[in-house]
Chain A
């Protein structure tokens, strides 16, 4: 699960970077970058943190 989380996080970053190559429009690049950031945050707070929340010390 942790590796999946890392993959999602890095994937979000790559999405943001990809905007540099697929278009010259700054507006579209900004939207792609925001999408990439959203994926990254999802990976951190939902996927990766979800793994640790399941095993949280206060649930034991």
Chain B
């Protein structure tokens, strides 16, 4: 009996021991890291011969282990190969995303050209198109020579683009015990170490943003800006003025560090450039328009304004659609990636962009309808653009409801601002660029400090401050102060700089074309050819027939 009991106990002990070892083995198997040896058994499900013979119409055999790059064919696939491939995939996704969105932003040049040309008179169409066309080349050249280095020369690291480590020198001065980043110093002519794949992507994306700024000015100064002055003015904007504020906001400059240095939220936050791109453009447009003065016939002797309608509303609204399309590159692209660091928020950013544009046009349409009895087409278009401009800074930080509200306010604001600039300071702005980009750019900057909801998370921090960006309505008054400092800088420093530069251009080159040329239209005197050579053009003084080889070349 005892021996039976002992045997049973021994059997149970053995079974228990076996179960314990099996469980431990199972646990070990689950916790064991993969080794290179484990990878050797992985093979593609079809041979290249099979695919060569049959093809792969169902995409079953394309994108397999065969497509992972092996660094050493003797060793075969290793874990290091897999990890490197994963890293490259992430950066490749981000590169492609940033480049494609950059291409969309570049296409916005066409939208701006159409909007501005449609809003001016036919006799100046060639001149206006040529300004919009050449801002691309002039701005690009200036930005390549020195603008990019000043703006982004000290912005490293940017994890989404692989680090861009060579952009590592920011000129900093210490004032009152705090470091103030003023401008970058790496990347002139993209030479030396800045000949880098990530930096090329960053350059392209930032360049098209700068070009957007330069094209804003051409609208407000249309129909009276001397072409040579426009060229010089644009180079200054692309080479120095835009890059300087771009550095302060995006290139690790002092505005972006207000959070780190002074505890103001996350420092100045401008997700895609309501301030950096649009307000800088709008404020510069204001400075140049002031210097040039209004078009002949815009104001009567008693100061009352006249409406000078544009010549083609089809161009205007088609241009607005192109711009709205391009804005899907502008805002979602500003994540500089689609993989990692919270970049999956691109869907939310795109929806915010769409909503604000929609409510902006709706707000402007209703305002004009109620106030003047008709839904004005050009102001509906400007309302769309105003909503898009305003949501540009907060697009990455706010929820859809806030985006809709921001856009709606922008739509009404642009109508009020157009009336204000016409009636009070009497600054002539043929396309409403100061109202659309300047006023609503500032509104966009302010709205970050109000509506940022603290739900975004781009890698756990923004501008070196941990956590998410929150506005006043979500409990961070410091963020609002940072945004106000940004607005003061735009109005104080950037306006002053733009004014001084364009004053200098006025003294040296002369900003305004002569009155005879203006009255006749700038196409022939400034550009040497009409935009519509077979059309009958109305001028202020007389009606002329534009035709090739016209003998109506105007003399001073």
Contact = CB atoms under 8 A, between A and B. Distances in A.
Contacts of B424: 45
Which size class do B's interface residues fall under? Answer: 35 or more
Given A13-B489, A26-B477, A52 B293 contact: yes
B294 A30 contact: no
B345 interface: no
Nearest to A24: B263
Q: Does more than half of chain A's interface fall in helix, strand or loop, or is it mixed? A: helix
Contacts of A44: 286, 491, 495
Contacts of A30: 477, 480-481, 484
Given A16-B484, A16-B485, A27-B477, A37 B491 contact: yes
A10 B481 contact: no
Interface in B264-302: 264, 286, 290-291, 293-294, 296, 298-301
Interface string B323-350: 0000000000000000000000000000
Contacts of B258: 20
A29 B472 CA distance: 14
B459 interface: no
B487 A37 contact: yes
A13 B427 contact: no
A13 to B, nearest CB: 2
Given A20-B485, A26-B478, A59-B301, A13 B293 contact: no
Contact of A40 (B262, B291, B477, B492): B492
Nearest to A28: B481
A58 B303 CA distance: 7
Contacts of B300: 58
Nearest to B306: A58
Interface string B462-492: 0000000000000001101100110111011
Interface of A: 2, 6, 9-10, 12-14, 16-17, 19-21, 24, 26-27, 29-30, 33-34, 36-37, 40-41, 44-45, 48-49, 52-53, 55-59
B426 interface: yes
Interface string B496-509: 10011001000000
Contacts of B481: 19, 26, 29-30, 33
Nearest to B175: A21
B176 interface: yes
A34 B66 CA distance: 62
A12 B491 contact: yes
A29 B503 CA distance: 33
5 contacts: A9-B492, A16-B488, A17-B488, A40-B492, A58-B300
A56 B294 contact: yes
B238 to A, nearest CB: 22
Contacts of B426: 53, 56
Nearest to A14: B492
Q: Which one of A6, A21, A41, A58 has the highest number of Cβ atoms from chain B below 10 Å of its Cβ?
A: A58
Contacts of B496: 6, 9-10, 13
Contacts of A10: 492-493, 496
A13 B290 contact: no
